[in-house]
């Protein structure tokens, strides 16, 4: 497929990989970035080049979102790979890593292959699978980590289900290390968390909601870090959301452990009070936390202790959400609102733009060894053009995802995606 070369002129380039944030232009040829002109305009463009005048808009590397759930295979009424890809494109997300807790679970190379084939057929954005760390993501026996790696899975994780058995987890870490596979794990003490719909505290107590103390996260993370130290395996903390767990993470980092941490855009944007009158779109796993925790998480993103922000996209249809709070399914869709929500966070003045953008571009891309996530000559032309200042009002019913469970419903955000390119092809245009 050959398209005309394109030149994006009069844009503000934000490229965390090189540390550049400033005016410039960018040339795309044959699906790759052919040139990056920092601080000026490109010279001597041939007549063949299609010139896109950005009028001062931001030009960012396409976003890399490493924690996305769809319903495919097994629950296509929630979301298909295609509907997720369309939502991602509309949100400026050009690479996603889908979670393995599908039906069947992505725990063998044939399912990895299925995801990759479906993604190629859809031909919209880059879709990569994460494999299950244990068979059936049941936490008991190791999955075929090596074969899944060969088939193309990017890391292993049991997604929402903590691997409770420390012996199993120790083996997963040790084995994955030998194959150079990154292991991700959700830190949540399963006994403290069981049945919880909210974080323990004054709010949950008043609302009569079953709750989990915030320390459940720290308790499991402390165990995980001890096993990481013991095995030397590369480890990804799947969503740190509490101040207590951040302390543990800091200690692990100070020791030089090979640990990277994510948090979700939801935990950066909301606290437990947003549950309001039992709004089930705010029911998440991990649950929304106290404002002190949210502030600590924002601080950790600013300081670089948390290097990756994920959408934690988890579609749940109306029938799973239109229930009493404790019975409703947890999770929120987020692909389409990730970038506007991040830009809104930037406008609130807490984190410099380039540092926020790093958490959704070169941060995750470098960790997983992807060529995307940078504005560099020769890199794939995965790009997003956006107006950082445009106000938007989120209307969940108008989101592209098949499920509309967005906690941002009715919220005003500041930042709008104008155009998304994958390998030089425009996959979304506002």
Q: Which residues bind other proteins (CB under 8 A)?
A: 200-202, 204-211, 213, 277-278, 319, 322-328
Helix (H, G, I), strand (E, B) or coil at 352: coil
DSSP structure class, residue 280: G
Minimum CB distance to other proteins, residue 324 (Å): 3
End-to-end CA distance of the chain: 23
Torsion of CA 372, 377, 382, 385, to 10 degrees: 130
Q: Whose Cβ is closer to other proteins: residue 19's or residue 324's?
A: 324
Per the listing, tokens 């929402």 go with 160
Q: Whose Cβ is closer to other proteins: residue 148's or residue 328's?
A: 328
- DSSP states along 183-245: EEE----HHHHTT--EETTHHHHHHT--EE-THHHHHHHHHHHHHHHHH---EEES---SHHH
Minimum CB distance to other proteins, residue 211 (Å): 7
Pick the closest to residue 365 from 150, 144, 65, 77 (CA basis).
65
Residues 6 or more apart from 308 whose CB is under 8 A from it?
A: 66, 260, 261, 262, 263, 359, 360, 363, 364, 367
Q: Whose Cβ is closer to other proteins: residue 200's or residue 421's?
A: 200
Asked if 273 and 202 count as a contact pair (C-beta separation under 8 A), the reply is no
Minimum CB distance to other proteins, residue 393 (Å): 21
Q: Whose Cβ is closer to other proteins: residue 34's or residue 200's?
A: 200
Minimum CB distance to other proteins, residue 268 (Å): 24
Helix (H, G, I), strand (E, B) or coil at 151: helix
Per the listing, tokens 């207590």 go with 244
Minimum CB distance to other proteins, residue 203 (Å): 9
Minimum CB distance to other proteins, residue 263 (Å): 23
Asked if 91 and 385 count as a contact pair (C-beta separation under 8 A), the reply is no
Q: Whose Cβ is closer to other proteins: residue 256's or residue 324's?
A: 324
Minimum CB distance to other proteins, residue 278 (Å): 3
Q: Whose Cβ is closer to other proteins: residue 35's or residue 327's?
A: 327
SS3 content of the chain, % helix, strand, coil (to 5): 35, 25, 45
Q: Whose Cβ is closer to other proteins: residue 68's or residue 328's?
A: 328
In angstroms, rounded to a whole number, what is the distance separating the alpha carbons of residues 252 and 185? 15
Per the listing, tokens 């079953």 go with 210
Minimum CB distance to other proteins, residue 295 (Å): 18
In angstroms, rounded to a whole number, what is the distance separating the alpha carbons of residues 68 and 31? 25
Minimum CB distance to other proteins, residue 204 (Å): 7
Q: What is the CA radius of gyration of the chain?
A: 21
In angstroms, rounded to a whole number, what is the distance separating the alpha carbons of residues 200 and 203? 8
Q: Whose Cβ is closer to other proteins: residue 241's or residue 282's?
A: 282
Q: Whose Cβ is closer to other proteins: residue 294's or residue 419's?
A: 294
């Amino acid at each position: 497929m050959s398209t005309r070369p394109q030149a994006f002129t009069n844009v503000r380039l934000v490229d965390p990989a090189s540390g550049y944030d400033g005016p410039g232009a960018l040339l795309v040829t044959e699906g790759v970035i052919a040139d990056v002109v920092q601080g000026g305009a490109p010279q001597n463009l041939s007549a063949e080049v299609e010139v896109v005048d950005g009028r001062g808009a931001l030009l960012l590397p396409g976003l890399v979102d490493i924690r996305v759930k769809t319903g495919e295979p097994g629950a296509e009424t929630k979301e298909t790979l295609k509907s997720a890809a369309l939502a991602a494109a509309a949100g400026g997300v050009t690479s996603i890593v889908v979670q393995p807790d599908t039906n069947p679970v992505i725990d063998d190379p044939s399912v990895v292959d299925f995801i990759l084939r479906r993604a190629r057929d859809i031909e919209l954005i880059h879709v990569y699978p994460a494999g299950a760390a244990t068979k059936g993501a049941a936490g008991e026996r190791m999955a075929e980590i090596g074969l899944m790696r060969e088939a193309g899975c990017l890391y292993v994780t049991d997604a929402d289900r903590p691997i409770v058995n420390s012996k199993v987890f120790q083996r997963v870490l040790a084995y994955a290390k030998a194959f150079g596979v990154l292991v991700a794990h959700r830190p949540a003490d399963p006994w403290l968390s069981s049945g919880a719909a909210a974080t323990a505290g004054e709010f949950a107590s008043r609302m009569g909601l079953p709750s989990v103390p915030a320390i459940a996260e720290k308790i499991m993370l402390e165990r995980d870090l001890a096993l990481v130290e013991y095995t030397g395996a590369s480890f990804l903390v799947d969503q740190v959301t509490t101040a207590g767990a951040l302390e543990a993470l800091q200690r692990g980092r100070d020791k030089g452990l090979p640990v990277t941490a994510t948090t979700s855009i939801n935990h950066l944007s909301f606290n437990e009070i947003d549950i309001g009158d039992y709004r089930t779109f705010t029911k998440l796993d991990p649950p929304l936390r106290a404002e002190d925790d949210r502030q600590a998480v924002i601080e950790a993103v600013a300081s670089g202790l948390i290097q990756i922000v994920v959408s934690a996209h988890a579609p749940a249809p109306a029938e799973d959400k239109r229930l009493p709070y404790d019975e409703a399914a947890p999770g929120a869709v987020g692909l389409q609102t990730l970038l506007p929500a991040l830009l809104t966070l930037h406008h609130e003045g807490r984190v410099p733009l380039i540092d926020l953008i790093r958490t959704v571009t070169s941060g995750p891309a470098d960790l997983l060894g992807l060529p995307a996530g940078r504005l560099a000559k020769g890199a794939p032309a995965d790009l997003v053009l956006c107006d950082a200042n445009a106000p938007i009002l989120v209307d969940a019913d108008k989101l592209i995802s098949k499920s509309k469970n967005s906690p941002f419903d009715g919220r005003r955000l500041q930042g709008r995606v104008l155009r998304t390119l994958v390998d030089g092809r425009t996959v979304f245009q506002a």
